[in-house]
């Protein structure tokens, strides 16, 4: 297949100009001041925001774990359905993803508000009103709701390839359902878990809209911090680039650690 | 399907759909209340259609998504064919860079492209707007196409391509007759994913759009920032209806095709 290599040429040019160069510019901005002189000041300043970094990482981990736990059975049930039902069901599950995520998040603003439906219903049975919106819980909920399909899809596409007879063989050979799950299905679905976790964790750790809409002003995340440096009042692209760089490094580290658990030699990052 | 599975799927679907249905119900609400339904009206829809900002940003969104996803599918499919025939080390390098926009938080991609466009804007006659948006969308779409197509090569017997040539196919015919049918499901899902992400994208567009060219998500964002307006609910309802129609039609066509294939003995894909 060597002759086909040239097909990649247009993309390689695109990749260099619009992926590599912009990222190098982020690095350049992070290490220079307005006059273009080398400085470590902006990177050092990122340290002031450690609490925001810790909060972002923590909330993203919680949201990712919840997504995995919720999505795993969904994908498995989907993958074991009759072939012609699978398509329909997958469509129904993925349909909300086609709605803009701002609208989906806005829907939760409506539900969770102090005068929202949930508090109204709770009020009828004599509870509340509870403080639902502008909490960390609301932010996690928003993340789970928005990114759940990103977990379901990769899991499903791996699981659908697991041969039914492998599962039957396991139980014929004396595995109970639980050990079949953990010794047959889970090991075979690791690549799906890895890409699902990546696809949920990364947007979750860097979101700035969900935190703003559901977290109020008090639950700032890394994303909010970066946005403020580029489009907010605190215009400072050098600090913004510094924060972005640190965020990238954190994500790369976490992904590298995760790759250690991947049995395939395929590269995830 | 066992009862437990059905109950579980029901609960997950409820979680996914209830917020959207609440949004839809309140688009017909007479007052601006988001929790008490006081009477039926279509006023918000009438207001929506008179809102020129929304209509023009909707057009922009569709045009950009179509252009970007088609371009990305072409670029990405060619790239995947090329990358697949590369040697191990260059392949790993290219794939690692390709993964950058996916592993990287959207906000970092957005910010990095913003820095690049600012650089060009200062030196050439580049204005933030339509062109920058299309470039940005293609850039974040292509990796998804490549990542959807590449696994198809892994599932494919690498000798098939050579076997086809040994049996008298020209490389081009072998590509068309052997490789393309094998990777087609990946190409299609890559395209659909690109298109969805382009329609849905807010974060990267937010950093790369100017004041001249807005996409619908950006308009929606500015609407949610201002006071509550049931126009958003009306818009969500319309988007939801369109999504349902598109997906159902697509699904029916696919199911019919499958049935036809099965009737033909399943020898054609």
Query: Nearest to residue A207, comparing CAs of B205, B106, B104, B225?
Result: B106
Instruction: State whether B111 and A241 contact (CB < 8 Å).
Output: yes
Tens of pLDDT, residues A40-69: 988 898 889 999 999 999 999 999 999 999
Contacts with A, B 188-217, CB within 8 Å:
196, 199-200, 202-203, 206-207, 216-217
Mean pLDDT for the stretch of residues A62-77 = 96
The distance of Cα B249 from the centroid of its chain, to the nearest Å, equals 18
Judge whether B75 is closer than 8 Å to chain A, CB to CB.
yes
Judge whether B149 is closer than 8 Å to chain A, CB to CB.
no
pTM above 0.80, yes or no: yes
Mean pLDDT for the stretch of residues B30-39 = 80
| Confidence grade of residue A205 (pLDDT, cut at 50, 70, 90) | very high
Residue with more model confidence, A232 or B147 = B147
Q: What is the CB neighbour count within 10 angstroms for residue A34?
A: 9
Angle between helices A190-206 and B106-123 (to 10 degrees): 60
C-alpha distance from B196 to closest chain A C-alpha (Å): 6
Over its C-alpha atoms, chain A yields an Rg (Å, rounded) of 22
Instruction: State whether B96 and A267 contact (CB < 8 Å).
Output: yes
C-alpha distance from A64 to closest chain B C-alpha (Å): 15
Smallest Cβ–Cβ distance between B97 and the set A19, A117, A251 belongs to: A19
| Confidence grade of residue A30 (pLDDT, cut at 50, 70, 90) | very high
3-state secondary structure chain B: CCHHHHHHHHHHHHHHHHHHHHHHHHHHECCCCCCCCCCECCHHHHHHHHCHHHHHHHHHHHHHHHHHHHHHHHHHHHHHHHHHCCCHHHHHHHHHHHHHHHHCCHHHHHHHHHHHHHHHHHHCCCCCCHHHHHHHHHHHHHHHHHHHHHHHHHHCCCHHHHHHHHCCCCHHHHHHHHHHHHHHHHHHHHHHHHHHHHHHCCHHHHHHCCCCCCCHHHHHHHHHHCCCCHHHHHHHHHHHHHHHHHHHHHHHHHHHHHHHHHHCCCCCC
pLDDT > 80? residue B267 = no
**Cis peptide preceding B65, ω within 30 of 0:** no
Chain A residues in contact with B109 by the CB 8 A cut-off are: 22
ipTM for the assembly: 0.86
Smallest Cβ–Cβ distance between B105 and the set A101, A148, A205 belongs to: A205
Instruction: State whether A111 and B81 contact (CB < 8 Å).
Output: no
Instruction: State whether A117 and B22 contact (CB < 8 Å).
Output: yes
* Rounded-to-10 torsion of CA A54, A55, A60, A66: 120
Instruction: State whether B243 and A98 contact (CB < 8 Å).
Output: yes
pLDDT > 90? residue A180 = no
Return d(Cα B195, Cα B142) in angstroms, integer: 11
Share of chain A above pLDDT 70, in %: 96
Which residue in chain A is spatially nearest to B215 when comparing CA positions?
Answer: A100
pLDDT > 80? residue A269 = no
Chain A residues in contact with B98 by the CB 8 A cut-off are: 15, 19
C-alpha distance from A26 to closest chain B C-alpha (Å): 6
Which residue in chain A is spatially nearest to B143 when comparing CA positions?
Answer: A15
Return d(Cα A63, Cα A140) in angstroms, integer: 5
Judge whether B255 is closer than 8 Å to chain A, CB to CB.
yes
Which residue in chain A is spatially nearest to B37 when comparing CA positions?
Answer: A117
Report phi then psi at B86, rounded to 5.
-80, 160
Residue A16 DSSP label = I
Tens of pLDDT, residues A256-268: 888 777 665 444 4
Query: Nearest to residue A109, comparing CAs of A150, A141, A64?
Result: A141
Chain B residues in contact with A223 by the CB 8 A cut-off are: 105, 107
Q: Which two tokens stand for residue A20?
A: 């590599």
Smallest Cβ–Cβ distance between A26 and the set B92, B97, B108 belongs to: B108
Residue A263 DSSP label = -
Contacts with A, B 79-98, CB within 8 Å:
79, 81-86, 92, 94-98
B267 burial type by CB count under 10 A (0-12 exposed, 13-18 middle, 19+ buried): exposed
Instruction: State whether A74 and B12 contact (CB < 8 Å).
Output: yes
Chain B residues in contact with A104 by the CB 8 A cut-off are: 19-20
Start-to-end C-alpha separation, chain A:
25
Smallest Cβ–Cβ distance between A117 and the set B35, B146, B202 belongs to: B35
Instruction: State whether B247 and A95 contact (CB < 8 Å).
Output: yes
Share of chain B above pLDDT 70, in %: 97
Tens of pLDDT, residues B213-266: 889 999 988 888 876 678 888 988 998 999 899 889 988 888 888 888 878 764
HSE-CB for B50 with a 13 A CA cutoff: 5
Mean pLDDT for the stretch of residues B122-136 = 89
- Asked if B218 and B205 touch (Cβ cutoff 8 Å), the reply is yes
Query: Nearest to residue B154, comparing CAs of B202, B194, B95, B67?
Result: B95
Judge whether B107 is closer than 8 Å to chain A, CB to CB.
yes
Tens of pLDDT, residues A86-140: 888 988 998 888 888 898 999 898 889 888 888 888 888 888 778 888 899 999 9
Q: Quickly list DSSP for A120-137.
A: HHHHHTT------TTSHH
Return d(Cα B226, Cα B222) in angstroms, integer: 6
pLDDT > 50? residue B268 = no
Mean pLDDT for the stretch of residues A203-223 = 88
Which residue in chain B is spatially nearest to A8 when comparing CA positions?
Answer: B79
Dihedral sign, Cα of residue A225, residue B113, residue B191, residue B59: positive
Mean pLDDT for the stretch of residues B9-24 = 93
| Confidence grade of residue B154 (pLDDT, cut at 50, 70, 90) | confident
Chain B residues in contact with A128 by the CB 8 A cut-off are: none
A15, A194, A217: which to substitute to probe chain B, counting the most B Cβ within 10 Å? A15
């Amino acid at each position: 297949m060597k002759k086909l290599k040239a097909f990649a040429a247009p993309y390689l040019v695109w990749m260099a100009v619009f992926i590599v160069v912009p990222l190098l510019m982020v690095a350049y901005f992070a290490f220079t001041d307005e006059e273009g002189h080398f400085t470590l000041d902006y990177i050092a300043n990122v340290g002031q925001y450690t609490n925001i970094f810790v909060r972002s990482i923590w909330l993203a981990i919680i949201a990712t774990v919840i997504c995995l736990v919720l999505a795993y059975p969904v994908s498995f049930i989907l993958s074991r359905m009759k072939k012609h039902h699978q398509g329909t069901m997958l469509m129904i599950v993925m349909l909300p993803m086609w709605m803009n995520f701002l609208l989906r998040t806005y829907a939760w603003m409506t539900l969770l508000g102090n005068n929202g439906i949930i508090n109204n219903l709770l009020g009828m049975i004599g509870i509340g009103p509870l403080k639902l919106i502008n909490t960390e819980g609301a932010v996690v909920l928003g993340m789970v709701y928005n990114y759940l399909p990103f977990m379901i899809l990769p899991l499903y596409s791996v699981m659908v390839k697991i041969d039914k007879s492998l599962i039957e063989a396991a139980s014929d050979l004396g595995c109970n359902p639980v050990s079949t799950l953990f010794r047959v299905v889970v090991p075979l679905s690791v690549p799906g878990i890895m890409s699902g976790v990546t696809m949920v964790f990364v947007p979750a750790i860097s979101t700035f809209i969900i935190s703003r809409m559901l977290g109020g002003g008090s639950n700032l995340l890394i994303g909010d911090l970066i946005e403020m440096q580029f489009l907010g009042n605190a215009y400072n692209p050098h600090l913004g680039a510094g924060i972005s760089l640190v965020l990238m490094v954190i994500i790369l580290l976490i992904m590298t650690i995760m790759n250690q658990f991947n049995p395939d030699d395929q590269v995830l990052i | 399907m066992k009862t437990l599975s059905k109950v579980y799927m029901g609960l997950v679907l409820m979680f996914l759909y209830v917020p959207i249905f609440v949004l839809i119900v309140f688009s017909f609400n007479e007052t601006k209340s988001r929790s008490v339904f006081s009477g039926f009206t279509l006023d918000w829809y009438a207001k929506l259609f008179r809102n020129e900002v929304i209509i023009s940003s909707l057009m922009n969104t569709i045009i950009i998504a179509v252009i970007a996803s088609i371009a990305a599918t072409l670029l990405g499919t060619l790239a995947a064919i090329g990358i697949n025939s590369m040697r191990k080390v260059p392949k790993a390098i290219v794939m690692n860079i390709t993964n950058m926009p996916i592993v990287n938080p959207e906000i970092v991609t957005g910010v990095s492209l913003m820095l690049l466009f600012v650089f060009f804007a200062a030196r050439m006659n580049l204005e933030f707007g339509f062109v920058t948006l299309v470039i940005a969308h293609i850039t974040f779409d292509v990796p998804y196409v490549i990542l959807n197509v590449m696994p198809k090569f892994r599932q494919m017997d690498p000798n098939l391509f050579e076997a086809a040539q040994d049996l008298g196919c020209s490389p081009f015919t072998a590509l068309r007759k052997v490789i393309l049918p094998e990777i087609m499901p990946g190409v299609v899902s890559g395209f659909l994913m690109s298109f969805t992400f382009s329609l849905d994208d807010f974060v990267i567009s937010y950093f790369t759009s100017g004041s001249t060219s807005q996409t619908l998500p950006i308009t929606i964002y500015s609407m949610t920032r201002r006071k509550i307006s049931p126009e958003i609910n009306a818009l969500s309802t319309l988007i939801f209806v369109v999504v349902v129609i598109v997906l159902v039609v697509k699904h029916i066509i696919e199911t019919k095709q499958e049935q036809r294939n099965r009737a033909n003995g399943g020898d054609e894909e």
